[in-house]
Amino acid sequence: MFGFPGWIEITIILGIILLLFGKRLPGAMNSLGKSIVEFKKGAREVSEEDEKPSKMEAPDSEQDNQSS
């Protein structure tokens, strides 16, 4: 009975949204883009921090093996 809306219904819904939020939509998309960039930058920094300790631990373990 109730399924996924077809392309006509989606077009009508998008048209209504555009009428209601048309003036605020560019600003919202701009801030969404900035937040995505910041998220990716933060994720990249976290992954770089995860890699640094593993590289630093390798020389320590070699020194421990040489002294034994």
What does the pLDDT look like over 9-53, one tens digit per residue?
Answer: 999 999 998 898 888 888 888 999 999 999 999 999 888 877 775
**DSSP calls for 32-52:** HHHHHHHHHHHHHHHHHHHHH
Residue 18 near residue 25, CB atoms below 8 Å: yes
- Note whether residue 35 is domain-resident: yes
- Note whether residue 33 is domain-resident: yes
- Note whether residue 68 is domain-resident: no
- Note whether residue 57 is domain-resident: no
Domain total of the chain: 1
Question: Cα(first)–Cα(last) distance of the chain, in Å?
Answer: 75
Predicted pLDDT at 65: 60
- Note whether residue 60 is domain-resident: no
Which residue range forms the structural domain that includes residue 29?
A: 23-48
- Note whether residue 12 is domain-resident: no
